[in-house]
Chains A and B, each alone.
Chain A
Amino acid sequence: MGAELGNLKSLVVLFVEDENDIREALAGAIEDEFSKLITARDGEDGLKKFKKYKPDIVVTDISMPIMDGLDMARAIKAISKETPVIILSAFSEKERLLKAIDVGIDKYLIKPIDPDELMETLLHVAKERFATSEVIEVGGGYQFDKSKRVLVLQGEEIGLTKKELLFVSLLVKHLGTFVLHEEIKRSVWANKNVSDAAIRTFIKRVREKTGRGFIKNVPGLGYKIDT
């Protein structure tokens, strides 16, 4: 893992969190893994520091005083669309999470914070953002070719329909973290009215083609592909 984490060594990361204890403790635990870890105590402070330090990745809490994580993310995306933003949120803040789809948040992580999960997510975001190859290693020996949009297992292409590929590429984009039900509806069915039962049948078919463990259910939230 050390070698992989090495990839983060060149990155500048902005971490925005209003809880002093958490902010200081997490910064203390992970700052040596990056080129630089900048911390901010709220959205306004975060936006100011984003402009000043131009970080490669932003990690932010969702509910904060003065300016919350979503408003800050919106402002950051307006300045720099490509900068990945990772949102930390409690399960109870699902209402807020739904708004995050419109903001174009790249990944969501559910609190309490698991630093291992955070580091893996950061690594994937970094790889995706700065990777030269179009082929991404996903879990279970699978590879996904982003430009050709094909899912490959040990050299064999898995036969997926257009819609199924759209779904898999959406999960791959959020590799290691989950995609909300609402976002799946929006991206794969282009907001057309589709029943939850139809979605379940659709996902069941994809699972039959890929093996059950490939796509995981996150109860009450959505689906994910692990690394």
Chain B
Amino acid sequence: MKLEKYQEAIETSNIVSKTNIEGIITFVNDEFCRICGYSKEELIGANHNIVRHPDVPKETFKKLWETILAKKVYKSTVKNRAKNGTTFYVNTTVIPMVNTQGVIEEFIAIRYDVTDTVVLTEALKHKEEELEQLNSTLEERVQSQTMQLKDLNRNLERRVSEEVAKNREKERLLFTQARLASMGEMIGNIAHQWRQPLSELGIDLYKLKKLFGQGDQNAFLETYEHGKGVIKKMSQTIEDFRNFFNPNKPREDFYINEVVDDALAMLKGTLGSEQIVVRVTSEDKVLIHGFKSELIQVLINLITNAKDAFLESSCEQKYIDIHIARFDGRTLMVSVRDNAGGINEEILEKIFEPYFTTKQGSLGTGLGLYMSKMIVENSMKGSIEALNAGEGACFNIKVPIRLEK
């Protein structure tokens, strides 16, 4: 009774079939008929391979038969084909039924339908494959994009370095130009400085000629000595300029006061003829380090600019004030200030740009302040600023103090 209940329970919840030892179907339940589409009449007496699916390899059946003929239980998910050709999957357990003599009497197969699961799994597998495919092409696409980007980058790098090289060349040209322009100005300054002593020498010679005729020996010797003094003065001028132009001078420690003195010595002739009074005040004597002649160049540029600014101003007395003082513990500041009316606020921020000039005609190259800025920033590791103060322009140069070790 209890056994019958089990049987009923199994038969209603599972797909059940029985075959004889040759594999001929001897029993099927309704569930079996429903899933394969064959009737009981068609199934009973037929070989069980009636539901075999052609996709399933022979080895599978070989293994099944080996297992069950060895009186073992075979478990597997099997792909079958229904009468109408559709595929279904069943989780199958085949149990060999052995009698008391140990002989197989029949096989009972209990199955349950796993078609949905398998189909879903396959669909999932398919999706996964698609995804994988997508993934792999994505990787390819990313790789090709990356290649393009890399290519672009390399190009960009090349173009940037080309532009940088071009810029460097331009800057070098600019510097050569600025150097030539300032040399031209310097030669102008030498000419200016020599004009007066040359006149004095001319006058001395004329005097000597006259005194020779008159026989005044004392006056003759006096004039001769005067002429010698003038020549000495001219030699000194040449020496000042020669030192300045020497390009092979190394970095050195020097006092800013010397820079101011040297710059003024070279501009003496020019400043004198324009009636410009230069007042120098110095609070401290501090060592700095760098190329002295370059800083002299900066001072000359600033003073020359002030001188040119006076040409267009109408002030009564022209002053250039140069003030040297510590800005803080590590920085020294030199201010060059004039009373020539100052710089138009609109152009104040442009004045350090190359080729920017307010001077008329051949006077300005637009390179003086640019070069000054380059020298102060690159060579002296300092800074330069321009502002309007009082009745004129003021340039502040800040440079690091040489710290004693």
Contact = CB atoms under 8 A, between A and B. Distances in A.
B196 A116 contact: no
A114 interface: yes
B275 A114 contact: no
A134 interface: no
A158 interface: no
A114 B206 CA distance: 8
B198 interface: yes
Contacts of B202: 112-115
Given A63-B273, A92-B191, A22 B206 contact: no
A19 B203 contact: no
Nearest to A90: B195
B188 interface: yes
A111 B195 contact: yes
B207 A22 contact: no
Contacts of B275: 65
Query: Chain B interface secondary structure, helix, strand, loop or mixed?
Result: helix
Contact of B199 (A63, A92, A111): A111
Contacts of A220: none
Contacts of B308: none
Given A28-B207, A115-B206, A116-B206, A22 B200 contact: yes
Contacts of B203: 22, 25-26, 29, 113, 115
A21 interface: yes
A90 B192 CA distance: 9
Contacts of B188: 92
Contacts of A116: 206
A30 B192 CA distance: 25
A223 to B, nearest CB: 24
How many chain A residues sit at the interface, stated as a range, is: 10 to 19
A44 to B, nearest CB: 13
Contacts of B199: 19, 22, 26, 111-113
Interface in A95-116: 111-116
Contact of B198 (A21, A29, A63, A112): A112
A147 to B, nearest CB: 36
Contact of A21 (B194, B196, B207, B210): B196
B242 to A, nearest CB: 21
Interface string B111-149: 000000000000000000000000000000000000000
Q: Which of A25, A65, A111, A114 has the most CB of B within 10 A?
A: A25
A50 B11 CA distance: 149
A25 B210 contact: no
Contacts of B210: 29
A19 B192 CA distance: 13
Interface in B182-214: 188, 191-192, 194-196, 198-207, 210
Q: Which of B191, B202, B207 has the most CB of A within 10 A?
A: B202
A153 B358 CA distance: 55
Nearest to A116: B206
Contacts of B198: 111-112
Given A111-B195, A113-B203, A115-B205, 16 more contacts: A18-B273, A21-B196, A22-B196, A25-B204, A26-B203, A29-B203, A29-B207, A30-B206, A90-B195, A92-B191, A111-B198, A112-B194, A112-B195, A112-B196, A113-B202, A115-B203
28 contacts: A19-B199, A21-B200, A22-B203, A25-B203, A25-B204, A26-B199, A26-B203, A28-B207, A30-B206, A63-B273, A65-B275, A90-B192, A90-B195, A92-B188, A92-B191, A111-B195, A111-B198, A112-B194, A112-B196, A112-B198, A112-B199, A112-B201, A113-B199, A113-B203, A114-B206, A115-B202, A115-B203, A115-B205
5 tightest A-B contacts by CB? Answer: A112-B198, A115-B206, A112-B199, A113-B199, A65-B275
